[in-house]
Amino acid sequence: MTRSLPPQEEPPESEPTGSLRPTDLRSVAVAALCGAVVGWFVLSIFVVTDAMVPILPWSLPIILAVVAGGVWIDSRVLRRKVADPHREVSPTEGLVSLALGKALVLTGAALAGACVVYVVTFIRQWSIPYPRQRVITGTASAVVCALLAVAGWALERACRVPPDGGSDRDDRLGGRGGDDSGRPVR
Residue 120 covered by a domain: yes
pTM of the model: 0.75
**Which pLDDT score, from 0 to 100, does residue 3 have?**
66
The pLDDT of 112-118, averaged and rounded, is 96
Q: How confident is the model at residue 11 (pLDDT cuts 50, 70, 90)?
A: low
Burial profile 8-24: b = 16 or more Cβ within 10 angstroms, e = fewer? eeeeeeeeeeeeeeebe
Range of the domain at 72: 25-163
Residue 99 covered by a domain: yes
Name, in order, each residue with C-beta under 8 angstroms of 136's C-beta and a sequence gap of 6 or more. none
Domain count, the chain: 1
Residue 44 covered by a domain: yes
Residue 5 covered by a domain: no
The pLDDT of 132-156, averaged and rounded, is 95
The pLDDT of 32-36, averaged and rounded, is 97
Q: How far apart are CA 54 and CA 34, in angstroms?
A: 21
- Torsions phi, psi for 93 (to 5 deg): -65, -45
Residue 47 covered by a domain: yes
Residue 148 covered by a domain: yes
Residue 16 covered by a domain: no
178: left (phi over 0), alpha (psi -120 to 50) or beta: left
Residue 173 covered by a domain: no
3-class DSSP state of 87: coil
Q: Where are the alpha helices (DSSP H) in the chain?
A: 25-48, 59-83, 91-122, 129-158, 168-172
**pLDDT (tens digit per residue) in 162-186:** 776 544 444 443 444 444 444 444 4
Task: Work out the number of other CB atoms within 10 angstroms of the CB of residue 79.
Answer: 18
